[in-house]
Amino acid sequence: MWRDFGACRAEAVLGDLTLQRVDAIVNAANTTLLGGGGVDGAIHRAGGPAILAACRLLNGCETGDAKFTTGGNLPARYVIHTVGPIYRDGTHGEPELLARCHRRSLRLAQELGLKSIAFPAISCGVYGYPVPAAARIAIGEVRHVLEEGSSIEIVRFVLFSQDVYDSYSRALEE
């Protein structure tokens, strides 16, 4: 499923983020940036120790912010580490923080001069964000940033299961 926003293509695919041949993949990290489970664990396993070594120099990352490191052994040149909100009930700033993760990651990619970036479903695993709502926020914010004008040509959402893929596809169609 894909859709063009301005000169940029946004797409949703079912797959493994760590295998993507893009300029940067985005990690759904935690504030320590020192690794964890889920997609974070998969990125560190596939990318090797260079990513953790680079993360140690970054002093963590606040929720809603983003920082970058090398991609190590990954096909992607960079990993952009962002920290999504832990979902409580939706009234504790979760939507704004989730939107900010996407905005900060895209801005960082633009500052690095990148043309392609791939996101996972940030906050949709351990952090418990209801997937349809997270998908609408993620796609809405990406659209917003791209329509402001951007050097980025491809934004790919790489979803690990059919239900998550379906939610992101639906949000792209809306």
Of the two residues 158 and 172, which places its CB atom closer to ligand AR6 in the complex? 158
- Our finding on whether 135 is near ligand AR6 (CB under 6 A) is no
Which residues contact residue 54 at a Cβ distance below 8 angstroms, ignoring those fewer than 6 apart?
69, 70
**Known catalytic residue at 89:** no
**Residue 14 structure tokens:** 């079912």
Which member of 23, 40, 89, 163 is catalytic?
Answer: 40
Among 12, 61, 139, 158, binds ligand AR6 (CB under 6 A): 158
Among 10, 79, 109, 121, binds ligand AR6 (CB under 6 A): 121
| Inter-residue contact 74 to 46 (CB < 8 Å) | yes
Among 122, 146, 152, 172, binds ligand AR6 (CB under 6 A): 122
Shortest Cβ 159–ligand AR6 spacing (Å): 6
Shortest Cβ 25–ligand AR6 spacing (Å): 9
CA distance 25 to 157: 10
Query: What is the size of the binding site for ligand AR6 (CB under 6 A)?
Result: 25
Nearest-CA neighbor of 15 among 4, 29, 25? 25
Per CB under 6 A, residues contacting ligand AR6 are 16-18, 28-30, 36-40, 42, 84, 120-127, 158, 160-161, 164
Residues annotated as catalytic (active site), given as ranges: 40
